[in-house]
Structure 1
Amino acid sequence: MKIFIKNMVCNRCISAVSKIFEDAGIATVSIKLGELETELPVTEENLKIIEKNLQQTGFERIKDSTQQITEKIRNLIITKISSLDIADDFVLSEFLSSNLHKDYSLISKTFSQHENVTLEQFFILQKIEKVKELLLYNEFTLTEISSKLGYKSVQHLSAQFRSITGFTPTEFKKLKVHNRRALDLI
């Protein structure tokens, strides 16, 4: 049985959801961001317990098919950005269409209706959060970050960063308080 789960954005989320199912005595076949498959069908009584435990941990079971598609889109984007392997000729529409096997206009419309933000805006916001993270870790130069996240130039990254945050990347690094948003809240 496939169960779709909202707000899974990292490996710790996978571990937390896995533990919820394990504690409920439900064996899983596979688990990945936003999706879990059980060995056997889950009873309604067990689903209610699981849903309660998911909500207490900040997750939510997704029942609606359009919400499931939206969550798949979110997870594809988050995973792609986390890979730090985005070519400067990366095309979001082609990436999503090929991974979801759906027309991009349907994907875009579905996402925008559920998230109140366009796919492109969401992609940019996710990239900016990753830039913030990488700047704080100080592992890469701005040039390297720009290259890893598919920006054509450091200037493009800096301009986009400033338009979203109000700071240049250098100014952001100098701040005493760094306002980062949780990925599931973007």
Structure 2
Amino acid sequence: MMLYVKNMVCDRCVMIVRQQLEQLHFEVKDITLGKVEVAPDPTAHQLQDISATMELLGFELMDKEKDQLVEQVKNKVIELVHHSDLNEVHQSLISIIADRLDKDYAYLSRLFSDVEGLTIEKYIIQQKIEKVKELLEYGELNLNEIAYKMGYSSSAHLSAQFKSVSGLSPSKYKSSSLNKRKPLDKIK
């Protein structure tokens, strides 16, 4: 049976969900961000136990198809933005997401906006800015290198977008004690 798990956004989340399901005596056949295939199929009572366990850890089982699809979009955005070099991506992230989910972009866009109250494009920008904050805090790359890595046309474009989202320029953010990153699952 396939379970869809909300807020499962990183490798540690995958590890924690796997451990919890195994402690509940389920075999995890396959697990990716937001999706877990388990065996044997859980009973209704076992699903309640899984749901309660997941909620204690900050996760949520999803049963509505639309919610599952929105969560898949979020997970694909996180995967692309946080786990790949965007300078090597030669098509729009939205096209990649629609292709990977085998769904029409217009449908995904409408659904995402209805459920989340913001567009996929704005969600992508917010995720990119959180990744930029992370890279700024590490201090290993300069702003030009970060802009290139994140697929921006220039550091000026990155700076303008960063300031419009965070209210600070990248240099102010880096030198400020106010530099606060958001958990990936809290970005809206």
**Does TM-score exceed 0.5, indicating one fold?**
yes
SS in 1 for 2:86: coil
2:23 aligned with 1:48, yes or no?
A: no
Q: What 5-or-longer segments of structure 1 have no aligned partner? A: none
RMSD: 1.1
Q: Residue 4 of structure 2: SS of its match in structure 1?
A: strand
The residue aligned with 1:129 is 130
Which residue is 2:145 aligned to? 144
Alignment of 1:25-104 (within 5 A): 25-87=25-87, 89-104=90-105
Conserved 8 A contact 2:3-2:37: yes
Q: TM-score, length-normalised on structure 1? A: 0.96
- One-letter amino acid of the structure 2 residue matched with residue 137 of structure 1: Y
Post-superposition offset of 1:89: 4.9
For 1:83 and 1:36, locate their aligned partners in 2 and report how far apart those are by CA, in whole Å.
20
Q: Return 5+ residue gaps in structure 2 as ranges.
A: none
Q: Matched residues, percent identical?
A: 38
| SS of the residue 2:40 aligns to | coil
- Whether the 8 Å contact between 2:80 and 2:93 is mirrored in structure 1 is no
Deviation at 1:92, TM superposition (A): 2.6
Distance (Å, rounded) in 1 between the aligned partners of 2:19 and 2:42: 16
How many residues are paired up? 186
| Counterpart position of 2:20 | 20
The alignment's TM-score, normalised by the length of structure 2, stands at: 0.95
- The whole-number CA distance in structure 2 between the counterparts of 1:84 and 1:92 is 11
Using the alignment, how far apart are the partners of 2:26 and 2:73 within structure 1? 27
